[in-house]
Chains A and B, each alone.
Chain A
Amino acid sequence: MTPAPAVAVRIGARALTRRYGALVANDAIDLSVAPGTIHSIVGGNGAGKSTLMRILQGVDFPDAGTVVLNDEPVRLSGPADAFARGVGMVHQEFMLAPPLSLLENLILAREPVGAAGLIDWRKAEEEAGNLAALAGAAIDWRLKAADAPIHVRQILEILRLLYRGADVLILDEPTAVLAPAQIVELLKLMGKLRDEGRTILFISHKLDEVMKCSDAITVMRAGRVVARTTASDTNVDALARAMVGDHAPALLIESRERPSGTPLFSARALAARDPLGFERLGPVDLDIRAGEIVGVAAVGGNGQDELVACAAGILAPAAGSIRLGGEDLAGASTARFRAAGVGYVSADRAHEGLCLTASLADNFIAGRERDTAFSRLGFLRPANIRAAAARGLAGLSVRYGSVDDPASSLSGGNQQRLAIARELSRAPRLLVVSQPTRGVDIAGTAFIHNLIADFRDRGGAVLLVSESLDELLALSDRILCLFNGRISGELSRSEAGVETVGRLMLGRRAAA
């Protein structure tokens, strides 16, 4: 690969500023990343990390200041220019064409062409094979990206950078969607690439990962760089303090003894397919009692999404029964599930959890517009609606302009608070929660955890799915592990630990 050039700063920024309207997303950022290092960027939601990375990759452009490459200030004309200079990025959102095969996704934009300008598939496969070997991953290259497991998609995006010959890899929250074992693999791969001389910019909210892999760490807050340090000079607590400023939140949820009595929610022989028609879940049996949080641990694509969708009444099961408080909900509409007392916090905040273009008030009462409080004779009662929303948001310490502003005006963490608050305000009996704190910063995470625990303490039942084992272990009274759509093990709070859960998630037996 490219020999480490004799420069001090392989990639960086000098007094770089980017504004979105009145908001200063990057405020005079200085950044210096030495060649052949892993440099982590940490910061709360909306700190400006992704914005900075997008500018370094030429996808976005600074209003002032410059990008620095090999000690020289440069003006990138676009992502193609960045690639040409050896800089590639894995975005926070997946950047894959779903209907294309993994191989097609890999070679896109740098296709090997043979005679008559046709794509040389043999050569493509050969290079793909080499890359997979380098990453130590077994990849079925003919699989459509849409059908590939999440961790494979994540790896593919990194391999694509290597395929394009990038020696600077910008990885924006690559671990957010991975299971613990996969995270370990990824960090190992990153170390290997660094040792080969590549430079890696790494973003994560999981500070222990950051501590484990980084050579250098830059902390951002509200668009500015607030600290520069190295892993050996700091610790998780210090980093967290730097990120959030003064008020570091307390993080302690009390566990509960397993409540007795008949289950509130009970599923029998439940099975479901994903939108492509593949069997993903089941058959599984599942009971949840009032006053209990049941956590579900699984590596992406092992049926947890389908379980959530079935429990929330979004997806009709392929087989099996669902009962809530004795009421049979087989084949019922989402509306009936909700009428029966199911609340749902979606993992997909932007498309399912909220309507980003609608106002805060409308988001807050959506689904309850027929309630007499909010409408009379089919006519809405706007004053009541806005008052209810203002009351609801007041208890969440959400900062907002007006309840008439669109939900998109809130930061990601605050959007999530709004979504959860709406569901809790309906006083459900069962709350189905998926990835409640994905991409939420430390303060927001603590707040949301408290909301969920409060609900449980008031006698609510909770089905919690999360990719974060820490979250599951912190909140759950009981943890189920799913593997290949079936329950591979069940652990009480006291039995559960990262090791045991991790093993069960991968379909191995729990240690005795």
Chain B
Amino acid sequence: MIDAFLHAAIVMTTPILLAAIGGLVNRIGGIVNIGLESMMLGGALIAVMVSAQTGSAGLAILAALVTGAVLGLLMSLVITRLSANEIIVGLGFSVATAGLVRFFLKSVYGVSGTYNPAGVAMLPPIDIPALHAAPVLGAIVSGQDALTWLAWALVPATAFALRRTRWGLRLRATGAAEATVRAVGLAPLTIRDASTVFAGALAGLAGAHLSIGVVGLFNEGISGGRGFIALAAFYFGRSSPWRTALGALLFGGFDAAQIRLQGHWIPAELLQALPYAIVIAVLTGLGLADRRAERSGRMG
């Protein structure tokens, strides 16, 4: 029972984590990405289409990555080059992309909402025979797909890259002081665009994980608000990949838990609202802690 729960928690965490890492990097570069949802949706659809066409999950993933990246670039250009408000652009992108996806499905495939072609190649789970039998660990790591591994590998990799590579340094500088970055001869807007492209690519992968990693079909509701959950996760994480991962895990774990807890203590509607309340509670706690630290002061 606990094994199944842990396994499900990891599966549910993967798309949130992928999108949240992207959103985190984007935010460090200076853009709060509200459009992750649309990039997920685009990635999910393209993944199913390419997978059904070619029978290759690898190509499908690549296509989802590119789709998310292109959507990210488009969104970024409006924000950086036309100085538009990132929040409204992100919301608009989500609305317009949802409409476009439906419009596309109707006019190309003559279907509404769901696209369920034959011959979708799924992402294969990676079994680790040595760990399969291990009690808790086996359930967590065995039988997960490549995108889940990628998502978790990205956590330390992102933390490392932010600290130790020139791209990380430039990204942090861009988010903190755009004029400075321009003055030293770099192109802050391009750096910012690159971070949105990265976020879009990861959100595209998150979509692919949902459509060809979990179910093998596309539905217009498949992103299920996970882009917004990812937003909460990286806000929670502030600028730390590890804390962001913790936030994503909180939501993924909660999703896995709530489907097991339903009908036991509280009504399903309220149970499902709980993670949002937890986010507020955690932010309040962090705010209080900051305030206390400020009150008690530091030695300088």
Establish whether A and B are touching in the complex (CB under 8 Å).
Answer: yes
Given A79-B182, A82-B185, A97–B300 Cβ distance below 8 Å? no
A279-B298 Cα distance, complex, nearest whole Å: 7
A79-B181 Cα distance, complex, nearest whole Å: 10
A276-B299 Cα distance, complex, nearest whole Å: 10
Q: Which residues on A sit within 8 Å (CB–CB) of B164? A: 118-119
**Binary flags per residue of B167-208, CB closer than 8 Å to A gives 1, else 0:** 001101100110111111110000000000000000000000
Given A111-B169, A119-B164, A119-B169, A279–B183 Cβ distance below 8 Å? no
Q: Which residues on A sit within 8 Å (CB–CB) of B183? A: 57, 59, 79, 89, 91, 95
B297 at the interface (CB under 8 A from A): yes
A176 at the interface (CB under 8 A from B): no
Q: Which residues on B sit within 8 Å (CB–CB) of A147? A: 300
A83 at the interface (CB under 8 A from B): yes
A79-B182, A97-B180, A109-B170 given. 18 additional CB < 8 A pairs? A59-B183, A79-B185, A82-B185, A83-B184, A93-B179, A96-B180, A97-B172, A97-B173, A97-B176, A97-B181, A99-B172, A104-B172, A108-B184, A119-B164, A273-B297, A277-B294, A278-B297, A318-B297
Nearest chain B residue, comparing its CB with the CB of A107: B169
Nearest chain B residue, comparing its CB with the CB of A82: B185
A278-B173 Cα distance, complex, nearest whole Å: 24
A82-B183 Cα distance, complex, nearest whole Å: 10
B107 at the interface (CB under 8 A from A): no
Cβ contacts A to B, 25 pairs, < 8 Å: A59-B183, A79-B183, A79-B184, A80-B185, A80-B186, A83-B185, A95-B179, A95-B180, A95-B183, A97-B176, A104-B172, A104-B173, A105-B173, A108-B173, A111-B169, A118-B165, A119-B166, A164-B184, A273-B294, A273-B297, A274-B300, A276-B298, A277-B294, A278-B297, A278-B300
Main secondary structure of the interface of B (DSSP, over half): helix
Would B186 and A99 count as touching, CB distance under 8 A?
no
* Contact among B169, B184, B300 with A280 in the assembled complex (CB-CB below 8 Å): B300
Would B184 and A279 count as touching, CB distance under 8 A?
no
Nearest chain A residue, comparing its CB with the CB of B178: A97
Question: Which residues of B are interface residues toward A (Cβ below 8 A)?
Answer: 164-166, 169-170, 172-173, 176-177, 179-186, 293-294, 296-300
A401 at the interface (CB under 8 A from B): no
The smallest C-beta distance from B163 to any residue of chain A, in angstroms, reads 9
* Contact among A83, A96, A274, A279 with B177 in the assembled complex (CB-CB below 8 Å): A96
Would B166 and A117 count as touching, CB distance under 8 A?
yes
A175-B152 Cα distance, complex, nearest whole Å: 50
Would A277 and B169 count as touching, CB distance under 8 A?
no
Nearest chain A residue, comparing its CB with the CB of B167: A117
The smallest C-beta distance from A327 to any residue of chain B, in angstroms, reads 25
Q: Which residues on A sit within 8 Å (CB–CB) of B182? A: 59, 79
Listed from nearest, the 9 A-B pairs whose CB atoms lie closest are A278-B300, A80-B185, A97-B177, A111-B166, A109-B184, A79-B185, A97-B176, A95-B180, A97-B173
A113-B166 Cα distance, complex, nearest whole Å: 8
A98 at the interface (CB under 8 A from B): yes
**Binary flags per residue of A148-180, CB closer than 8 Å to B gives 1, else 0:** 000000000000100010000000000000000
Would B299 and A279 count as touching, CB distance under 8 A?
yes
A95-B185 Cα distance, complex, nearest whole Å: 12
The smallest C-beta distance from A497 to any residue of chain B, in angstroms, reads 31
A303-B229 Cα distance, complex, nearest whole Å: 44
Nearest chain A residue, comparing its CB with the CB of B186: A109
A73 at the interface (CB under 8 A from B): no
Nearest chain A residue, comparing its CB with the CB of B163: A119
A100 at the interface (CB under 8 A from B): yes
Would A95 and B184 count as touching, CB distance under 8 A?
yes
The smallest C-beta distance from B211 to any residue of chain A, in angstroms, reads 34
Nearest chain A residue, comparing its CB with the CB of B298: A277
A57-B183 Cα distance, complex, nearest whole Å: 9
A367 at the interface (CB under 8 A from B): no
